Amino acid sequence: MSLFRKKALPPIPYDPETQEPAVRSSICTGEMTVGFLDRKTGKFREYELARSRSDVDAFCRRVGIEAKEIKQID
């Protein structure tokens, strides 16, 4: 048993009928924010800041989708 083990993060609940996981990136700075896009209104709800691509991949794993399935918003 290891004393310094990384805790498994719980899955992120969302409604696939009304929301779509998405990544919004800034044109100027390239800063990425992961969150959910409302399918009806098109409004983006921020979840957390992604410092690197590995943060985006971790978000995808917690949501339960493949990294190639996430929508890109500029």
3-class DSSP string for 27-58:
CCCCCEEEEEEECCCCCEEEEEEECCHHHHHH
25, 54 Cβ separation under 8 angstroms: no
Q: Is 74 helix (H, G, I), strand (E, B) or coil?
A: coil
62 within a domain of the structure (yes/no): yes
Query: pLDDT per residue over 30-54, tens digit each?
Result: 899 999 999 999 999 999 999 999 9
User: Looking at residue 58, what is its pLDDT?
Assistant: 92
Range of the structural domain that residue 64 is part of: 19-73
Report whether pLDDT(3) > 80. no
Report whether pLDDT(20) > 80. yes
57 within a domain of the structure (yes/no): yes
How many domains are contained in the chain? Answer: 1
1 within a domain of the structure (yes/no): no
Report whether pLDDT(2) > 70. no
| Residue 6 pLDDT grade (very low, low, confident, very high; cuts 50, 70, 90) | confident
